[in-house]
Chain A
Amino acid sequence: MHNCTLAELSKGLADKAYSSDELTQHFLKRIKQLDSQLNSFITITEEQALAQAKAADQQRANGNSTALTGIPLAHKDIFCTNGVKTSCGSKMLDNFIPPYNATVIEKFNQAGAVSLGKTNMDEFAMGSSNESSFYGPVKNPWSTDCVPGGSSGGSAAAVAAQLAPAATGTDTGGSIRQPAALCGITGLKPTYGRVSRYGIIAFASSLDQAGPMSRTAEDAALMLNVMAGFDHRDSTSSEQAVPDYTAALNDDLSGLTIGLPKEYFGTGLSPAIEQAVQAAIKEYEAMGATIKEISLPNTSLAVPCYYVIAPSEASANLSRFDGVRYGYRCEDPKDLHDLYTRTREEGFGEEVKRRILIGTYALSAGFYDAYYRKAQQIRRLIKNDFVAAFQQVDVIMGPTVPNTAFALGEKSNDPVSMYLEDIYTISTNLAGLPGMSIPAGLVEGKPAGLQITGNYFAESKLLNVAHKFQQATDWHQQFPAQFSTKAED
């Protein structure tokens, strides 16, 4: 069953080939047997999952099911789940049990999906390797000496290792696409505002966006059908109508214009990854697409711009973790100042503290204009680059990440080289555009990702473009050997 896509499982449930209960038990069994090698889950909600599965089977029997009814999923531990610990990968929230669901969770519940548990992540979604988690690093199923990417590394590893058919992630600077690329799965970051942020623990509010992480583009479309939509609890969510994202999956690609930004193929890109991307482009040409070289001239400014804006927002977003109302509180504070400083000193990890400091500095009187205001101006320039590019092309393609998964510990002491992991993904967040990463090859046994960026609210087009590639290739059907054969029933 775990070899099946979400779409296939949905059909299996509809055809009564198996029940959601059986399906859920199967995945719970795999998690129990295999996750000790990966550390992809922080919390496994077995009891709740089985109860949801039984309810889903009932729902299917009653004939009022959706495509997702009875499908087991894993959720990044950044989505608040009513009654279930939501840690955000941090000691600060190790004891936090929200009394409410994130809108995304609510929507999956309404669709009848089953939640297997909460997946590991970089602390407060700050990281590109999953090494900043309070719960320890996640291993890449393709090579357990390597990182799975981050921050949605737990979700990526769980899907790659077939511990869950699909999972949710969030992406602030590449946190869905980069781990999807490193773990060889399909990840979609929707347009900013397409999915409600309510109940997602905020990292950088103007950049955060939730999306699906799955085996195929079709599965991502089924997930996004549930996740997308206006939410009156999130002022920044879009009122734009939500299409059926599966409707255009098979549209013909002849006449499609693909832009290749020259800035994405320069120094720093591994030749093997470039080869994989070029091979993918050839596939698209074969399908009738036209290739056009374009320029996104401000690309080199994206990483520095992001590392001013995201930490600035984070420095305010994380102020609420003060030991007063919930979460970690230091022992025996002697006064208010002591409560604040020790709670935050002890409760936050290194990377989180680094970013709070950067953000606090960038917003300080006397530095605001030089950093925050300047970064906002650059952000506008980066957005304009894309707006101009989409006058000429339908989608933009390139590598998701310059290299394949790196070794655990390799970049832990070099934050800047870690930040450069997101060099191709960050611009998309700054511009608020939708972006995908799909498997496009294997380099020395490790996955390479193709990034597809679309115009605002062009998720259907992205999914169509990704799906057609997956119809023509089988990179998305490759599984890490260590996990694909075990626990088969």
Chain B
Amino acid sequence: MEWETVIGLEVHVQLATKTKIFSGSSTAFGAAPNTQANAVDLAMPGTLPVLNEQALRYAIMFGLGIDAQINKRSVFDRKNYFYPDSPKGYQTTQMDYPIVGAGNVEIQLKDGSTKTIRIHHAHLEEDAGKSLHEDFHGCTGIDLNRAGTPLIEIVSEPDMRNAEEAVEFAKKLHAIVTSLGISDGAMSQGSMRFDVNISVRLKGEEEYGTRTETKNLNSFKFMEEAIALEVERQIDILEDGGRIVQETRLYNGDTKTARSMRSKEEANDYRYFPCPDLLPVVIDDSYIEAIRASLPELPASRQARFVENYGLSNYDAGILSADSAMSQYFEVASQVCDDAKLTANWVIGEVSAQLNNTAKEGDGTSFALCPVSAEHLGQLICRIKDNTISGKIAKQVFEAMWNGEGDADTVIADKGLKQVSDTGALEAMVAKVINDNPEQVENYRNADEGKRKKMTGFFVGQIMKASKGQANPGMVNKILMAQLNG
């Protein structure tokens, strides 16, 4: 039997507003528990919510970024449930009239094809607080700092057919929200969280199978693992003649296992109704158009520009444009050295590798926090281009720059890494290697043209070793040929 997977995503994105969606408390991450919770956040009696207009603007920006319909009238609803991290006993969210209507996100797949994932809608809502189960001897601590942080929940159609598509879609959303500057995208801090709806059906079947929802995945890797695990579980059940139970599941990234959280029967009746403390949000065309006019460049148009203006490959341009901090870094560096292709190689290669070693996945600010500034990288690349150092030495210089030992010229000077291009010095070096290795010279001179080419490698290696890698490779070759053949 051939099975087909059907995946839909619900993505929670924390918006990068300075204050909460319905109160003036700070949203900064990492403060001591409950120091960023005022009377409104604590749901003290008589307190009332007031919508933070910046959150509304950010949600509209997202809608415009995915070519979605912006609803001119949206309504906040109360979603009722009891839990200690939900201080009012209900979450303020949008149910029937969300701010963002249907839209589209285009993803690129590894085989080079593209696919459009439809967005059903995106709505504004408030985040809950956190329950702290450690350190409280049989009790649970409640931290309401996060309570009231603005979120958009993006709900996709069930358009994805495998984990790759789901992960690409998630990454694309990450690229969009960080490029728009509406979220810091810091996944390790919970700024972006994914609920994955998964079902399987026999290939060719029209009807969807019964789905499960795996909640609160906060990395692309966990998402990929959780999908693989759940698809396998569902197929096993179905092939054994069983039935899938509609349920909410939790994936544990440490143990690589998942468990059922609650079944549909146990699901809450949330008793949604319009929140009488908040008026319907009514906006007009001019409000929307003013926001559209202020939109920053989005990944798709940036990618096209990189291909067009810098002559990059579509693939490289795609990587560079996905992350706005990365693309900004690339553009600054390439302007300094005036070599976009070499800069692209460095940014995608060396710089990204170093950042990946230190930063956490998806934390979009990592390029902004790179210890080697874009200007300094550009200067380093200049030194490669003007033959001051070789590409190989440049990696050594970069490492030193990363460790705070100064800019490229300082490191090159301090460590004496300047490429040796002095003809006299190089001739002496070549002569010494030839003198020290009479046997190899003899063999070389007796070999035919085809073999000779291979044998030069030995001499070049010896010379580079003697020069600690600093000999100008082009000049070494020329002088070596002259002396060997001369």
Chain A: residues with CB nearer than 8 A to chain B?
79-80, 86, 88, 93, 96, 98-100, 102, 197-202, 204-206, 232-236, 312-313, 315-316, 318-322, 324-326, 336, 340, 360, 363-365, 368, 372
Contact between A232 and B50 (Cβ–Cβ < 8 Å)?
Answer: yes
Q: Does B64 contact A (CB under 8 A)?
A: no
How many A-B residue pairs have C-beta atoms within 8 angstroms? Tell me.
Answer: 103
Known: A98-B46, A315-B271. 14 other contacts (CB 8 A): A80-B44, A99-B44, A198-B47, A202-B46, A235-B49, A235-B278, A236-B279, A313-B276, A319-B82, A324-B84, A325-B42, A326-B44, A336-B140, A363-B272
Q: Does B273 make an interface contact (CB < 8 A)?
A: yes
Cβ-neighbour of B89 out of A79, A98, A206, A316 (below 8 A):
A316
Type the 1/0 row for B263-303, where 1 means its CB is closer than 8 Å to any CB of A: 00000010111001111000000000000000000000000
Residues of chain A within 8 A of B467, CB atoms compared: none
Q: Which residues of B contact A365 (CB under 8 A)?
A: 269, 271
State in angstroms the CA–CA spacing of A326 and B44 once bound together.
Answer: 8
* Interface secondary structure of B, over-half rule: loop
Complex interface: chain B residues within 8 A of A235 (CB): 48-51, 277-279
Q: Are A320 and B276 in contact (CB under 8 A)?
A: no
How far is A210 from B242 in the complex, measured between Cα atoms in Å?
60
Q: Which of B39, B44, B90 has the most CB of A within 10 A?
A: B44
Residues of A within 8 A of B43 (CB): 320, 325
Q: How far is the CB of A82 from chain B (nearest CB, A)?
A: 11
A86 x B45 contact (CB < 8 A): yes
Closest residue on chain B to residue A100 by CB atoms: B39
- In the assembled complex, the CB of A84 is this many whole angstroms from the nearest CB of chain B, namely 13
- The smallest C-beta distance from A237 to any residue of chain B, in angstroms, reads 9
Q: With contacts A199-B46, A235-B49, A235-B51 known, is A316 near B90, CB below 8 A?
A: yes
The residue that B39 contacts in the complex, of A99, A197, A206, with Cβ under 8 A, is A99
Given contacts A102-B46, A233-B48, A235-B279, contact A364 B84 (CB under 8 A): no
Once the chains bind, are B90 and A319 in contact (CB under 8 Å)? yes
Interface size classification for chain B: 20 to 34
* Chain B residues near A234 (CB-CB < 8 A): 48, 50
Do residues A100 and B271 form an inter-chain contact, with CB atoms below 8 A? Answer: no
In the complex, which of the residues A197, A315, A364 contacts B269, with contact meaning CB atoms closer than 8 Å? A364
Q: Known contacts being A235-B49, A316-B90, is A372 close to B269, with CB within 8 Å?
A: no
Contact A320 B48 (CB under 8 A): no
Asked if B378 is an interface residue, CB under 8 A from chain A, the answer is no
- CA–CA, A325 and B42, complex, Å: 8
Residue of A nearest to B142 (CB): A324
28 contacts between A and B (CB under 8 A): A80-B44, A80-B45, A98-B44, A200-B46, A201-B46, A202-B45, A202-B277, A232-B50, A233-B48, A234-B48, A234-B50, A235-B49, A235-B51, A235-B277, A236-B279, A312-B273, A313-B276, A316-B78, A320-B45, A320-B89, A321-B45, A322-B89, A324-B142, A325-B42, A326-B45, A365-B269, A365-B271, A368-B271
Q: Which residues of the partner chain B approach A326 to less than 8 Å between Cβ atoms?
A: 42, 44-45
Contact: B277 with A88, CB < 8 Å?
no
Interface pair A340/B39, CB less than 8 Å apart: no
CB of B365 within 8 A of chain A? no
**B88 pairs with A319, CB closer than 8 A:** yes
| Residue from B39, B88, B273, B278 having most chain A Cβ neighbours under 10 A | B273
Rounded to whole angstroms, the CA-CA distance of A271 and B273 in the bound complex is 42
Rounded to whole Å, the gap between the CB of A349 and the closest CB of chain B is: 16
Q: Are B47 and A199 in contact (CB under 8 A)?
A: yes
CB neighbours of A236 from chain B (8 A): 48, 276-279
Please tell me if the beta carbons of B273 and A368 are within 8 angstroms of each other in the complex.
yes
Contacts of A340 in B (CB 8 A): 82
Interface hub of A80, A233, A235, A360 (most chain B Cβ within 10 A): A235
CB distance from A11 to the nearest CB of B (A): 34
- Whole-angstrom distance between the alpha carbons of A382 and B279 in the complex? 20
| Cβ B80 vs Cβ A363 within 8 A | yes
**B87 adjacent to chain A (CB < 8 Å):** yes
Q: Which of B45, B84, B88, B272 has the most CB of A within 10 A?
A: B45
CB distance from B482 to the nearest CB of A (A): 84
CB-contacts of B221-280 with A (<8 A): 269, 271-273, 276-279
Are A198 and B88 interface neighbours, CB within 8 A?
Answer: no
Task: Please measure, in the bound complex, the distance between the C-alpha atom of A235 and the C-alpha atom of B88, giving whole angstroms.
Answer: 18
Which residues of the partner chain B approach A313 to less than 8 Å between Cβ atoms? 273, 276
Q: How far is the CB of B74 from chain A (nearest CB, A)?
A: 14
- Taking a contact as CB atoms closer than 8 A, the residue among A198, A322, A336 that contacts B48 in the complex is A198
Q: Are B276 and A206 in contact (CB under 8 A)?
A: yes
What is the bound-complex CA distance between A364 and B49, given in angstroms?
A: 24
Chain B, residues 24-37, CB within 8 Å of chain A (1/0): the string is 00000000000000
